[in-house]
Amino acid sequence: MLICPKCKEKLYIEGRSYICPNKHCFDTAKSGYVNLLLANQMNSALPGDNKLMVQARKAFLDKGYYSPLAEKLCETVSRYAFDKCRILDAGCGEGYYTEKVASACPNAEIVGIDISKNAADYAARRTKSVKFAVASVFHLPVADESCDIVTTLFAPYCGEEFLRVLKNGGVMVMVIPSERHLWQLKCAVYDEPYLNEVKDFALDGFELLSRETVTGEITLPCTEDITALFSMTPYYYKTGIEGQQRLSRLETLTTEIGFEVLAYKKKSEFCAINYI
């Protein structure tokens, strides 16, 4: 599935390196991920989540707060997976969900991609049954029409790239937050909280196969978990000191959670064009 980010030829594994026929060579890090992000594809020196954010996210997810979502995700992916199918997790973060999918689909070939080196490093430590690479979802180092399934959870969406890498008839499983996801967390931070905007589910080039909603309530028993959850949200960047201070004074928090799990099929009339 992986291709050279420089010349787009297929990459082969040789020892601890990925090499293309034109001899472009990418070494794997100690933990096992490979960095395929070219300097001109970075928008900063260290793109993506930093180490503290990755650690907070990992600690939070490993406590199982979002396990109902992981279960629904695995159920949905398993519906479309088959022996030796190829699955790409685009924007895999520290690999919590990628590992769950790998366990649910033990005979699949799975690649996880994230722009954060720190995230890829943690992901590669988490499981050896998935290949992890550092790259942007807007420049996927993945061959045209090579994937049977693409998963994308709370990650930036790049329809053109996802359509390019998916086989005809391939499936994309997307997870987005529901309207009331983390409502009580937002009420604790903001004077006038707003509901999440849930967009129209129609996407160019895709046909919606299914939409399932996962809802629940979680209780965070300590400030550490509340802060970790908050740092995983987009609100983290938009909230002033006052809101952050309000949050840091909370000792426990019970909040609604809600996710939309959407499965799409790549429309067959959509021809793959080399967008890169």
Footprint on this chain of Zn ion (rule: CB under 5 A)? 4, 6-7, 20, 22, 24
Nearer to Zn ion, 7 or 273 (CB): 7
Q: How far apart are CA 119 and CA 135, in angstroms?
A: 11
Residue 255 Cβ, how far from Zn ion at the closest point, in Å?
47
Question: Which ranges in the chain belong to alpha helices (H)?
Answer: 51-62, 67-80, 96-104, 117-126, 159-165, 183-189, 223-231, 235-238, 241-248
Nearer to Zn ion, 25 or 273 (CB): 25
Nearer to Zn ion, 19 or 250 (CB): 19
Nearer to Zn ion, 26 or 132 (CB): 26
Torsion 37-42-44-47 (CA) sign: negative
Residue 133 Cβ, how far from Zn ion at the closest point, in Å?
14
Residue 4 Cβ, how far from Zn ion at the closest point, in Å?
3
Q: Residue 115: name the closest of 176, 161, 46, 52 by CA.
A: 46
**Which residues fall within 8 angstroms of residue 30, CB to CB, at 6 or more apart?**
none
Residue 150 Cβ, how far from Zn ion at the closest point, in Å?
23
Q: How far apart are CA 150 and CA 34, in angstroms?
A: 19
